[in-house]
Amino acid sequence: MNTQHIKIDDPQAQEGELLQAASILRAGGLVVFPTETVYGLGGDATRDEAAKKIYAAKGRPSDNPLIIHVANPADAERYAVTNELYYRLAKAFMPGPLTVILPRRDTIPLSTTGGLDSVAVRCPSHPVAHRLIALCGFPIAAPSANLSGKPSPTCAAHVAQDMDGRVDMIIDGGESEIGLESTIVKIDGDGLILLRPGGITCDALSMVCANVRVADAVLHRLAENERPLSPGMKYRHYAPTAPLVLLTGKDEDVLAFLQAEQNRTRCAILCYDEECGALKHENLLPVGGRNDLQTQARRLFHALRDADTTDAEIIYAHLPPMNGLGLALYNRMIRAAAHTVREV
């Protein structure tokens, strides 16, 4: 397949290009588009064939459901059974990096939801995504635009590495602002179950709903026979080629360990900016300031992809804190590391 590459800096001025993207989607084709979290691999969420094409392009098992992207929170009404708590969440966090799991209506085929009776709804804030969905007039089903098992793409170059030749069009809308996928919650009575931490933190959710429970699989490895609340939790994710080891311990001990390792092995290091001066330059991947979790989130997937291009036989990174945005970093990194944590 010949993939068309376009760049959209100003969605208002470039409405013609967006109309072209919308017509590809309307015809059942696939378009990769930017969002504030990561790039999405989009198809018409109301069409069976589009979902099948998405799974094929991604190399993804078809029981892993897709998120449907709507232009306005109230559009969810047509595709899902909403309630008062959904609208409270929408008022606080939409458009933005939040996905809510709701009971599915028949307007969304089972192929889009991986056979589930629920559907994941998200209203992205990125102006290109927003305008594209609005022009389509139907919701866009979109997983992250990476090949299954690779880190989610946060720029068009990473999308092209994975999706060139597999989709009809790739829209370059610049670097993703957040860099990690959306927070996913399931409404459970008058409470919320956090299925995937992201840009909307637990603390922020708690301001809207007093009862927020973190699903076990967010922090822990699932047992062999355990059935996850979200199918995506059971798949291996974001796995770099070399093994990733997460380090914890006193700052000075971790730094001393890294210095010794640089002399001993070929390693790549996802380090804090402050550590750059004390480490050898080779295979060093700065992820942001020690306390700047936002920058760390924005750079993580980029750094993991870069780590894969080095000759490193092992990759080291810091174990993130488990509070605030740290929880989202922790969740992604612990899975990329297959839960390998080393205390130094």
The binder of ligand TXA chosen from 29, 43, 151, 232 (CB under 6 A):
232
**Beta carbon nearer to Mg ion, 112 or 144:** 144
* C-alpha span between 267 and 284 (Å, rounded): 9
Q: How far is the CB of 42 from ligand TXA (least distance, A)?
A: 8
Residue 230, number of CB atoms within 10 A of its CB? 20
67: partner contacted, choices Mg ion, ligand TXA, none (Cβ within 5-8 A by kind): ligand TXA
* Position 144 contacts Mg ion (CB under 5 A): yes
Distances (CA, A) of 210 to 61, 190, 217: 35, 9, 21
Beta-bridge partners for 341: 246
Q: How far is the CB of 231 from ligand TXA (least distance, A)?
A: 4
Task: Kindly identify the residues of this chain, within the stretch 149-188, that bind ligand TXA according to CB under 6 A.
Answer: 181-182, 184
Tokens standing for residue 73: 């929170």
* C-alpha span between 67 and 114 (Å, rounded): 10
Residue 114, number of CB atoms within 10 A of its CB? 18
The binder of ligand TXA chosen from 35, 111, 296, 310 (CB under 6 A):
35
* Position 262 contacts ligand TXA (CB under 6 A): no
**Beta carbon nearer to Mg ion, 17 or 181:** 181
DSSP run (H or E) holding 299: helix 293-309
* Position 142 contacts ligand TXA (CB under 6 A): yes
The binder of ligand TXA chosen from 127, 191, 231, 249 (CB under 6 A):
231
Q: Residue 289, CB half-sphere, CA atoms under 13 Å: how many?
A: 3
- Taking CB atoms, the residue at the shortest distance from ligand TXA is 232
Q: How far is the CB of 21 from ligand TXA (least distance, A)?
A: 15
Q: How far is the CB of 58 from Mg ion (least distance, A)?
A: 8
**Beta carbon nearer to ligand TXA, 77 or 274:** 77
283: partner contacted, choices ligand TXA, Mg ion, none (Cβ within 5-8 A by kind): none
64: partner contacted, choices ligand TXA, Mg ion, none (Cβ within 5-8 A by kind): ligand TXA
* C-alpha span between 334 and 319 (Å, rounded): 8
51: partner contacted, choices Mg ion, ligand TXA, none (Cβ within 5-8 A by kind): none
* Position 67 contacts ligand TXA (CB under 6 A): yes
Please provide the DSSP assignment of 235-252 as one string: S--S--SSPEEEEES-HH
Any residues with CB less than 8 A from the CB of 267 and at least 6 apart, and which? 258, 261, 283, 312, 313, 314, 315, 316
* Position 144 contacts ligand TXA (CB under 6 A): yes
The binder of ligand TXA chosen from 6, 116, 147, 256 (CB under 6 A):
116
Closest CA to 256 of 224, 290, 279: 279
* Position 283 contacts Mg ion (CB under 5 A): no
Tokens standing for residue 14: 């470039």
Beta-bridge partners for 246: 317, 341
* C-alpha span between 47 and 4 (Å, rounded): 22
- Taking CB atoms, the residue at the shortest distance from Mg ion is 144
**Binding piece for Mg ion, criterion CB under 5 A, among 128-136, 143-151, 212-220, 301-309:** 143-151
Q: How far is the CB of 64 from Mg ion (least distance, A)?
A: 9
Q: Give the 3-state DSSP-derived string for 25-76, with helices as H, strands as E and coil as C.
A: HHCCCCEEECCCCCCEEEEECCCHHHHHHHHHHHCCCCCCCCEEECCCHHHH
Are the beta carbons of 7 and 109 closer than 8 angstroms? no
* Position 37 contacts ligand TXA (CB under 6 A): yes
Rg over alpha carbons for the chain, rounded to the nearest Å, is 20
Residues in touch with ligand TXA (CB under 6 A): 35, 37-38, 40, 64-67, 99, 101, 113, 116, 118-120, 122, 142-144, 181-182, 184, 195, 230-232
Instruction: By CB under 5 A, name the binding residues for Mg ion.
Output: 144
